[in-house]
Chain A
Amino acid sequence: MSVVTLKIDNVDVAIEAGSTILQAAREAGIKIPTLCYLEGVSPVGACRLCLVEIKGSDRLHASCVTPVSEGMEVFTQTEKLKEYRKMLVELLFAEGNHICAFCVSNGNCELQDVAIEVGMDHTRFNYRFPERDVDLSHPLFGIDHNRCILCTRCVRVCAEIEGAHVWNVAFRGAAAKIISGLNQPWGEVSSCTSCGKCVEACPTGSIFRKGVTTAEMKKHPDYIEFLHTAREEHQWTR
């Protein structure tokens, strides 16, 4: 296995060839905001928050899917990137119905954390107040589409780790929506094993455990990574 060295924000980093820029940055302690990225499932490069600039390229690159190369010079905190990240989070807040005060994940929400991280305190875009529904047909869990940011972490964790393929995305554009089964109520999807991995993977309060109320829902996305790597790492307990 070969190792490459690169510079991220002028810090020299050495990492295994084939790693992504995001992995290299995390190893070097450089924080790049992410939402759709989840350790343990495949990256999709959809949220665009982890975009970085690379010297010699006039495009922006999603660091979660861009492999490192020798001598690469990466910049993660340029003014342009900071502004774009802020706008992207603003767009998300204007898109759904994110009312933190009434949300089970208030205070434990990755969307909230990212908003604070990028310095977003209001959105310059018009709130769209979409009409979205809540599915409470599952005996243990619920999904509130008002809080969904379509990161597809639930889709991937269900397909890649649990192997149940309960979740998917249906429709296009503004109508795009996470669906269960063949667009059935979640409780009627017989392939669901009620494992709860999607609950842990969901970055917002969209998928939640029933019985929790405002700000009570704490999630453990690192649980997914544990499931993925425990055997390799010989972590028999947690």
Chain B
Amino acid sequence: MEFSELQRIAAEYQAQRKPIRIRYCHAAGCQSCGSLAVAEALQREVSAQGLTEEVEVCPVGCMRLCGRGCLVDIQGKLYERVRPEDAPSLVASIKDDSITPTAPAGSYDHPFFAYQLPIVLENCGKINPEEIDEYIAVGGYQQLEKVLHSMTPQEVIREITISGLRGRGGAGYPTGLKWSTVAKMPKTPKYVVCNADEGDPGAFMDRSVLESDPHRVLEGMAIAAYAVGANQGYIYVRAEYPLAISRLQKAIQQAKRREILGSQIFGSTFDFKIDIRVGAGAFVCGEETALMASIEGKRGNPRPRPPYPAESGLWGCPTLINNVETFANVVPIIREGGEWFSGIGTATSKGTKVFALTGKVKNTGLIEVPMGTTLHRIVMEMGEGCADGKKVKAVQTGGPSGGCVPVEYFDTPVDYESLKSLGTIMGSGGMIVVDEDTNMVGLARYYMEFCRGETCGKCIPCRTGTVQLYQMLTKILSGEATEKDLESLRQLSALVKETSLCGLGQTAPNPVLSTLRFFEQEYKQLLKS
């Protein structure tokens, strides 16, 4: 495989395309509302109306406005809630402007789309994720080729460092620094791991990326492996994402067949292999040390750090672990340069962030906005507030590890630091909108129930503290609690936060502390006088 070969594949692929394309979303969200049946109906109609020569029905990845699936795009026109019975009018409208399709039309000028800046999602909803040639046709794998032939590993790391990219898994550790730490470790072999164990309730960013553009992640991992000196990569995906797993498998197979993964990639001396490891349903395996234990085939228990994975990771070897979205940012950074990337976002948080906007919001879906976009813009303008005219009360970011931001603080620009100062975290990007009818104590209890069930049971504060916290919250909700219980709740939350071994326990009380901070009145109202 050489650069000219990539260009040839791209050209051949473009040449065989038909002039008019009907794109339909076949990511998990739209598939669950029947997009496969819609596709079949569209295909049937195209044949029936004799348009097979010029029209093709193309499966693509996530088209983002998940709450209004199935989504179909015909020559730049978006149609929402498409059902198979809409197919005849949709296909007929291609040739005859006077026909109005029976499916409701959407608009890309809507704030939901207009405020987005797709970098990670630039190919999502545009290409077929199950077809490597389509990825190559939009310039895919050219950056890997460029890196292997014209950049040293140090130059790659410098570019990532200049970009200011920070880990998108939630903690926001500078990616360039992590890469350079792994690169400098003398011990070999080294490993690259992609954390795709997205387990926060309400989060589906990584799933959408894997289902919509898996090659982007593979290319990012390969570039990372070259930069740090690794020859083996693992993608740790949760078993609850069967579609993402099958697309990744397909992508890896296709890349191997095209000799983009394997040995002597693009004629260089660089070898790289990627294998998939499927989780077994444990949330804690998203924690990096537990994840590595799980890859090694052991019980997914976290261990104390240091040593950090960069020093002693998989089988005691230096290991680079990044999240799906972090790897997906690598290709555009290499293509456009670190300077370009660092021009987007805020002073401390560069680039864009993908959020899964969900909960009691009108426009549920996947959004990618520059860092520093205000919560008001995200929730009220892009999401258009609550669906049924109710008032928005707050938004929960960071899932069970994060906290809530009340509507009064919606002018906060979203970045790692601003969210931290509000007592929540960026997290991996789940944004759950809460309306005025939601009881915040109930919300806190919901997350505590989640953590109680997902703690691995290794350390005392997390194993027993979460159970006790859950019981206290239940007592408060039942109206049996007194001021003293509220005090115990605070004390125990502080204990679990400060003494737990890993991130799961250290962040488990956050929803409680955060709701106590902003909605203490709701707790007080439930107390026995």
Seen from chain A, the residues whose Cβ lies within 8 Å of a Cβ on chain B are 44-48, 51, 59-60, 62, 65-66, 84, 87-88, 91-92, 94-95, 124-126, 128, 149-150, 152, 168-169, 171-176
Contacts and interface: CB of A to CB of B under 8 A. Distances in A.
Contacts of A47: 459-460
A88 B282 contact: no
Interface stretch (B134-142, B143-151, B448-456): B448-456
Contact of B464 (A95, A152, A175): A95
B358 interface: no
Given A51-B499, A124-B488, A173 B453 contact: yes
B457 A176 contact: yes
A185 B377 CA distance: 59
Nearest to B475: A126
A126 B468 CA distance: 8
B528 interface: no
Interface of B: 282, 284, 299, 301, 303-304, 452-461, 463-468, 471, 488, 491-492, 495, 498-501
Contact of A172 (B453, B461, B499, B500): B453
Contacts of B501: 45-46, 48, 62
A48 B299 contact: no
27 contacts: A44-B458, A45-B303, A45-B459, A45-B501, A46-B459, A47-B460, A48-B499, A60-B499, A62-B501, A66-B304, A84-B498, A84-B499, A87-B492, A88-B460, A92-B460, A95-B464, A125-B492, A126-B471, A128-B467, A169-B299, A171-B457, A172-B282, A172-B457, A173-B457, A173-B463, A175-B457, A176-B458
Contacts of A95: 463-464, 467
Where chain A touches its partner, the secondary structure class is loop
Given A60-B498, A125-B468, A126-B471, A91 B461 contact: yes
A48 B498 CA distance: 10
Contacts of B299: 168-169
A174 B458 contact: no
Given A172-B454, A176-B458, 12 more contacts: A44-B458, A51-B499, A66-B304, A88-B460, A91-B461, A91-B464, A95-B464, A150-B458, A169-B457, A172-B453, A173-B453, A174-B452
Contacts of B452: 173-174
A158 to B, nearest CB: 15
Contacts of B455: 172-173
B304 A45 contact: yes
Given A45-B304, A172-B456, A176-B457, A91 B499 contact: no
B169 to A, nearest CB: 19
A51 B452 CA distance: 23
Contacts of B282: 172
Contact of A44 (B303, B453, B491, B492): B303
Contacts of B453: 172-173
Q: Interface residues of B: mostly helix, strand, loop or mixed?
A: helix
Nearest to A126: B471
Contact of A176 (B463, B498, B499): B463
B304 A65 contact: yes
B421 to A, nearest CB: 16
A47 B299 CA distance: 18
A45 B289 CA distance: 14
Contacts of B499: 48, 51, 60, 84, 88
A52 to B, nearest CB: 11
Nearest to B501: A45
A174 B303 contact: no
Given A65-B304, A173-B463, A48 B457 contact: no
Contacts of A169: 299, 301, 457-458
Contacts of A88: 460-461, 495, 499
Contacts of A66: 304
A59 B511 CA distance: 20
Nearest to A96: B464
A94 B501 CA distance: 20
Contacts of A150: 457-458, 463
Contacts of B498: 59-60, 84
A178 to B, nearest CB: 10
Contacts of B457: 150, 169, 171-176
Nearest to A45: B304
B460 A173 contact: no
B354 to A, nearest CB: 29
A94 B463 CA distance: 12
